[in-house]
Structure 1
């Protein structure tokens, strides 16, 4: 109030609005227009004591990760809408629960916060794909493969092998299971497996019906060499050959060794040219079979090694051999019209204990029974091939039916009253049965035998016969 001007309105240089927190002094000037002034100081206090209103936040649910979250806002009485901040590092990839704390600061020293829960829960199982089944031939032992392929919705998984040898291992014959398991970051698992199959061991069993031949003696100059492959992978390509050429035209033009391949095969170099040629080529018989056996029949006058080479469908190879001793025991003397056989005759004379003679072929068995032996005499008058049992001229054995799916019947023709010894061998040469029989009607055997090829050796006194039988 002024004495002259009356009521005077104060003025101030303070800028409004005042928003600065704390105390602000506002100076008011009163001027009466006549050069007289007065002032008043007014104190203004700005003090925000109300924190921002923090929101309630929803949980975040994901399978693999959370790359980011839009920052939430809070409403403040002074600052209005405030954007929250957090110290959490993104992306969030850890499986399970993660707490994200959002801070709302109004700039006036007031803060509030909201906690948001983030759940990473991988519930989807991965898929795993194993390699295809692996086949190994009989002659291939090692198998290698790549690690199974995995697909998963989230990154990070572990593969372990749970069954079988590792890649690059040697495998036994037969089938082996290989298994894998994958576990992802969420603990979900999946499995796969495959099989490594190695073909059975390729084997070839060979037998020959006579390992000591005497060329010229018709009852004891031939042998049947038979090979039976098994295992590996059929069909089998069989090649049977000898370690030397066939002898031809030895002494005369009828002195020919022979080689006859089995039915259905192909044989080469088994023919003799006309005299004076003395050798042929090295014989060879071949045939491809899926089962069973293949044979060649030989008449030899000199030692030989017969070898069968078996190659299966995978190219695996196995060989088997038999050595045959052979002598040319022909004689070219006498007027009986019968073939003559050279034997070493024991004289019983201490000065000249043995001498080489020629006898009719039907007299050989009797001489052998008295200690003589086929072929030329040796310096010590002993058989270089050991004691032999030679078939009598009329002795014969029949086995029927052959092949058989039940029993075999055996009959002896032109035998004697002596005890009959029957020995039966399997294809590997193992004796599986022996019969000692004093009465010789039809003899039955083999009902219990499994399928296969067998050799039946029948001995009665000095007589001997070997027959090949097949059980179906």
Structure 2
């Protein structure tokens, strides 16, 4: 019996027996349907057809239950006892033939009232017949499938155990064996009422028998659903109020149509320390979940209470590190005080201690601290040593020890290092920062007795022509370092012959040394020539002469070394040239006139006022804008230079009205204070209004949208402006004066 349609699952053959002249063909029978080959005696069916009442599928067509008939004249019976695992309502079965060495021609079935797990044996007296021996039929084999089973319907019965009697009378041939491939048992009566215990899938069989005994069995699945939510026993849960924390309350309950009383569950962690909401969940186990909220209100209104009503005043000479006071809070327990006063305290103050319980409640407490330091620092050396040197002394800073400040470095108003010759008394002051100080003096004596040493032991004689200004020699001093020699001699020396210059080195500390140097001056006369070129009309300064014409000229000079010289100059005069840019020119702005300015002389160097360097310059009205624009050019051939300037005037050449005709576009008022109207009967011929200043810079644009346009130029500087009404095929230009 394989996979009968019962809610409890599979059935199992628990006994295979024989009666009369029949023997069990295979003594070592097993009933484990998980094996890959089904042994003889197994009544399992492969999964592909396991729930079908009309077909059976098995890889091995010889698998099944087999009994050998020992007496063909009086054949016996094959017996199977089947455990359905649970008491079940059954009403039909399908019996499938084995196509091997024998058949089952007839089958009978019995039920047993025993419902315990201890199965009755086949020879137990309590078996009750379900139906008498009934013909099975030949069945049909198609490959691994068997069709056309015997479908037997019997009175519905509730039982756990079923016993099968199988018989072979030889009417189907193969009379030596009783063979049975599979028995499938199906559940019973039609049910129209279901309860909560039936929630889920329920397998049912519909058995139909016609008036000639033909039976048809159809399986179906009835799914019972619980769609009703549990109902909370209390429509609203009472708020929980506590000062510090709330323990877990008694869980509320709900009532469910199937589950009955359901106790609420929650994910909230207890105890609850802050105001929050507990969400209780009622789950009936059938997918229906109800939630209910319960408010938890934690309100701590009590401030911490100081453990010591009055804190002890604290005194010390240097500093105080107070013990942190505490307070006791109804919720937080022991609370340590906090303060903004820096600790340890090094000056007299009042400490304010604050106790915070973490729930918004605070209390404060004050504590007096008095710091009084009346002890002066003590110098680490009773007497400071005198210090001496030739040049300078940078003394080691002395120290003192203070009862509060510890090691104190001395300070002084004396500039260090000490370099002044003689004796200087340094006064060192030791201050502890608390108003206590002492002073200590130290003598420093500077006495320089070493002369400077010349850097050159013997200065060389200096022989020059005409005049001499010797370079000052140097000496090195132990204190002053490099010293430049000084002399009373007057430079330059021009007296012919030998002059003895006495150099003196003074270190500033009363030590001097002198050194002599011979300076020998001799006179020479020089004759030199020179040449120069000027442009015609220019002058050339040559000594005392101002020259304008070509020729050779002679002039006496004093040479760089102070001697007499005679210079002969050859002067050439270049005839020069004149650049002419022509007359001033006027360009029309609305027609984008262009003029080319030409310096007129080739192969020279040009520099225009706009820093361009070509021979010609193009001036465009559209780029220049309305106004007067001066252009100048400087032309040079390397010696002579010529400069000229011309003015290019850009203006509006068309007038507002042409003859006596009305203008295409009207502009008014003109002059204007800022608001201007522009109108035309054919304004659609134009697309944009552009306003430019006197130099052509665009300062306002507006798209044309109607036959009357208003533009507001308020705020612009007074003066002349150009209005262009621009069209696709033509443009109109007007002068506008703002006042």
Specify the TM-score bucket, using the shorter chain as the normaliser: 0.3 to 0.5
- TM-score, normalisation: structure 2: 0.22
- TM-score, normalisation: structure 1: 0.33
The one of the two structures with greater contact order (alpha-carbon pairs below 8 A, sep at least 6) is 1
Structure index of larger Rg: 2
